[in-house]
Amino acid sequence: MRISRKQVKVQTVNYWINEQIKAPQVRVIDENGQNLGVMAVPEAVRIARERELDLVEVFPKADPPIAKILDYGKFLYQKDKEARKQKAKAKKVEIKGVRLSLRISSHDRDVRLNQAKDFLESGDKVKIEIILKGRERQYANMAREVASQFINALNNLVSTKIEQPLSFQGGRLSVTVGKK
């Protein structure tokens, strides 16, 4: 059996260069940042070619569009570099899980508290989960009490807020908390 995996496409912005520019006139800025004024596209392309550079339309929505004289390859490289830097800075928030039980010992609870504290301090959210098995399902109110005690103890260590309230589904009690 063959599994197809879709590749995520990176959205790129296409810039019109040299003869591809459709506007009849553009405001030209040279490689040093000096404004050369409004001129016809063929004349601006000629000036760019004399300097062995390209004319790139950088702001097409202006009236008239703004075009810069620059090295197109270096320009694309800089834009790609900025996009990678932005992607690296973006923090993806993960939901980490901490599983408790009705009969959890105090030491195990403290270990889970420290884990949850570390998760919250690293910027992640914590999903606290209690799975009730067999006859334990009759004691859902005790499970709620264990979860609320855990949340209160966690709140004493790190200020937290409840992202997703306490829910009980099919023998599984869960609550998601995040850092304030």
Domains of the chain with CATH codes: 18-87 (3.10.20.80), 95-179 (3.30.110.10)
Residue with tokens 């006139």: 25
For residue 166, the cross-strand partners are none
Least confident of 9-23, 60-74, 75-89, 91-105: 9-23
What does the pLDDT look like over 83-121, one tens digit per residue?
Answer: 888 888 877 778 899 999 988 899 999 999 999 999 989
How much is the pLDDT for 52?
87
Using DSSP bridges, classify how beta strands 125-131 and 172-179 pair: parallel, antiparallel or unpaired.
antiparallel
Q: In which region does residue 87 sit, left (phi positive, over 0), alpha (psi from -120 to 50) or beta (all else)?
A: alpha
Residue 149 in tokens = 């005690």
